[in-house]
Amino acid sequence: VSTQSTGKAESTMASFSEMLSRPRRNRKSPIIREGLRETFLTPAHFVLPLFIHDKEGNVPVTSLPGRSRLSLAGMMEEVEGAIADGVHMIEVFPATDDALKTAMAEESYNPEGLVQRAIRMLKGKWPQLVVVTDVALDPYNADGHDGLVDENGVILNDETIEILCKQAVSHAEAGADIIAPSDMMDGRVAAIRRALDTQGFSDVSILSYTAKYASALYGPFREALDSAPREGGEKPIPPHKRSYQMDPANRREALRECALDESEGADFMMVKPAVPYLDVIMALREHSSIPIAAYHVSGEYSMIKAASLNGWIDERSVVLEQLMSIRRAGADLIFTYFARDAARWLAEDAAKSSFQARF
């Protein structure tokens, strides 16, 4: 080795020896890493979405491996398992029979409707279970939109809100703990708050879908509920929901929606989808003290499942990493179809001692 080469090596080593800040020192052992962990994920952060139908038996959803449309009996069995896993919050979504779908979505506020009966069953057996209900018209609307559609294909805002208020009150009467309007109509949070308070339900919370984007990731969900916009009838029907759901290009607009929902009395605010919109979750967290929820949607679930079933990724590791990233961005609650799996994986991890790990 030449004297010149040796000199360069010694010079490089000398510069390293003068390095005062070495972040790796804080990552050198499992115990230190555990002690310095900034973000935590527990089953208490999860809400389990469930698809239900008014038929016998459970029907698997092809695009959501492991998920099914549940009968009411199947719903009760699934919730019992979720409670055992430590998941104590659920949201129900109905797959409504086509015969009950109308242009005015009257079935949405039927006191003997599927959702209303499901709420009574759940709260009758588990009073302490937190039941969240979706408030929107697409499961009941013959046109497949979250709002009423006029003869020109325009989604009617104020007329829709009148129906949403009836729907919300019917859910509260059945025993719902949290009403979650996902429709994205302007002014619906204030209107629903007034309707609930007027009927004596001031303790029922509102979780507003504040920043619900017109995403391409909702396909499996719409298959599960058969709730996509329906074209081909007597009137023109928009094939998408971009006139009321948000443009994926926009973040500042979410802050405007955030300010409005907060002023109208929302108790929680939702960002949907989750992982592609971590910046939006973080922006809402920085601009509001109201709890933030994020919906890890059907397309996010299906992509992980498909890659896992093909052996391309490790499902457990990817799911927990994504859920942790949602929490790190600022979400307090996460709606996820992985809720039960993640709860079990976290319990398994909690049983392991970092003291026993070598690296």
Q: State the chain's mean pLDDT as an integer.
A: 94
Percent over 70 (pLDDT), the chain: 95
Report residue 89's pLDDT band, with 50, 70 and 90 as the boundaries.
Answer: very high
Report residue 94's pLDDT band, with 50, 70 and 90 as the boundaries.
Answer: very high
Q: Phi first, then psi: what are they for 40, rounded to 5°?
A: -120, 150
Q: What confidence tens digit (pLDDT) does each residue in 33-51 have?
A: 999 999 999 999 999 999 9
The secondary structure of 162-224, three-state, reads: HHHHHHHHHHHHHCCCEEEECCCCCCHHHHHHHHHHHCCCCCCEEEEEEEEECCCCCHHHHHH
Nearest alpha carbon to residue 320 among 25, 46, 73: 46
What pLDDT does residue 177 have?
98
What pLDDT does residue 121 have?
98
Q: Is the pLDDT of residue 215 over 60?
A: yes
CB 336 within 8 A of CB 46: yes
Is residue 220 classed exposed, middle or buried when 0-12, 13-18 and 19+ CB atoms within 10 A define those classes? buried
CB 207 within 8 A of CB 180: yes
What integer is the mean pLDDT of 292-309? Answer: 97
CB 142 within 8 A of CB 101: yes
Per annotation, catalytic residue among 101, 241, 272, 305? 272
Tokens of 63: 């695009």
Residues with Cβ within 8 Å of residue 298, at least 6 apart in sequence: 63, 64, 217, 218, 219, 220, 221, 224, 337
Q: Is the pLDDT of residue 3 over 60?
A: no
Tokens of 107: 């079935």
Tokens of 344: 């079990």
The position carrying tokens 């949602």 is 326
Q: What is the pTM of this model?
A: 0.93
CA distance 231 to 245: 19
> 272 an active-site residue?
yes
* Long-range own/partner contacts, residues 37-40 (CB < 8 A, 24 or more apart): 38/328, 39/324, 39/327, 39/328, 40/327
Specify which residues 131 forms β-bridges with.
90
Per annotation, catalytic residue among 101, 212, 241, 305? 212
